[in-house]
Amino acid sequence: MAQGESISGNEVEKKIIKFLDNKLLIDLEDCRLKKLIFHMFGANINNNLKISCKKYEKKSSTYKGNPKPDIQIALNKVKKNISIKSGKGNSLHEEPLKTFLNFLQSFDNSNKYIDIIETHLKTAINIRNTDFSFFFDKNKIKIIKRVLDGIYRGEEAVDFYYAVLSIKDKNTEIASNIIKNGFFAHKSEIENYMINNIPSGKGQSGTCDVGILRYQSYNRNKYPKPQFKWPNPYEDIKKIRNKND
């Protein structure tokens, strides 16, 4: 995600928290963000309950990465963790080169690919439509599960994903409407969709598709690491919601 998108993504989180936190469910205006609350906690939930919505607090200080959830919503002592996606090209997962290569070594015939995978992380080479990309596609179920679950023990899992269009350069009224009317899906729906679909459009030669995700090297010139990006979370979750509702 570009820096501008990242900044607007943080703004989306803040505005969602402001919209929901310490509000009675009955007082929320009708929008898809309100529908998410009913979807998570049940259609017959008491409308007079007060919502708590806070930034998800990292459980461990022993690692530098970000936890998978962005916010935590609580109602009637039940808590749900939400990952917020704004705009396009969201970075969904990064991890140290060493831990990723160790993970790949558990796959069948991985020894044939480890060297080229490490080379690609450090040097710009073509991997699209090569044995490299076929190896990733063959093992996409395990890879996508790792991307969604993360690698840091002790952190809570994401329950739902909520995606909105970009609010970059939008005025306050338009941005507010965009944020309140995103689309949502359960983590299991997201995982199934990612495994069984591919991104639209042609990826660059230095990337390969892993289900709906796009794999590439990040920070190659300094501290290279694998990165998995989600090209268009809003449109993907919209398709999930329209199909399952």
- pLDDT score, position 13: 96
Strands 78-86 and 160-164: parallel
- pLDDT score, position 6: 57
> Per the domain annotation, does 134 fall within a domain?
no
Flag whether pLDDT at 240 surpasses 90. yes
- Collect all residues with Cβ–Cβ distance below 8 Å to 142 and sequence separation of at least 6: 107
> Per the domain annotation, does 138 fall within a domain?
no
Q: Distance between CA atoms of 21 and 52, rounded to whole angstroms?
A: 5
- Name the burial class of residue 197, with classes exposed (0-12), middle (13-18) and buried (19+) by CB atoms within 10 angstroms of its CB: middle
> With bands split at pLDDT 50, 70 and 90, how would you rate the model's confidence at 103?
very high
Q: Distance between CA atoms of 124 and 134, rounded to whole angstroms?
A: 18
Residue given tokens 């009224």 in the structure block = 173
Q: Distance between CA atoms of 69 and 164, rounded to whole angstroms?
A: 16
Count how many domains the chain has: 1
4-40 burial code (b ≥16 CB/10 A, e <16):
ebeebbeebbebbbebbeebebeebeeebbbbbbebb
> Per the domain annotation, does 222 fall within a domain?
no
Flag whether pLDDT at 43 surpasses 90. no
- pLDDT score, position 2: 45
Q: What is the mean pLDDT of residues 95-122?
A: 93
- pLDDT score, position 9: 75
Domain ranges, residue 180: 3-87+151-197+232-244
> Per the domain annotation, does 211 fall within a domain?
no
Flag whether pLDDT at 110 surpasses 60. yes
- Collect all residues with Cβ–Cβ distance below 8 Å to 75 and sequence separation of at least 6: 25, 37, 40, 41, 45, 49, 50, 51, 52
Closest among 151, 148, 142, 145 to 99, alpha carbons compared: 151
CB 225 within 8 A of CB 121: yes
Instruction: Please measure the distance between the N-terminal and C-terminal CA atoms of the chain and give it in whole angstroms.
Output: 29
CB 144 within 8 A of CB 211: yes
Q: What is the pLDDT of residues 113-135, one digit of tens each?
A: 999 999 999 999 999 999 999 99
112 against 62, higher pLDDT: 112
CATH of the domain at 162: 3.40.1350.40
> Per the domain annotation, does 105 fall within a domain?
no
- pLDDT score, position 155: 84
> Per the domain annotation, does 101 fall within a domain?
no
> With bands split at pLDDT 50, 70 and 90, how would you rate the model's confidence at 5?
low
- pLDDT score, position 245: 57
Q: Distance between CA atoms of 91 and 6, rounded to whole angstroms?
A: 10
> Per the domain annotation, does 218 fall within a domain?
no
Q: What is the pLDDT of residues 200-238, one digit of tens each?
A: 888 899 999 999 999 999 999 889 999 999 999 999 999
Q: What is the pLDDT of residues 162-203, one digit of tens each?
A: 999 999 999 999 999 999 999 999 999 999 999 999 998 888
> Per the domain annotation, does 33 fall within a domain?
yes
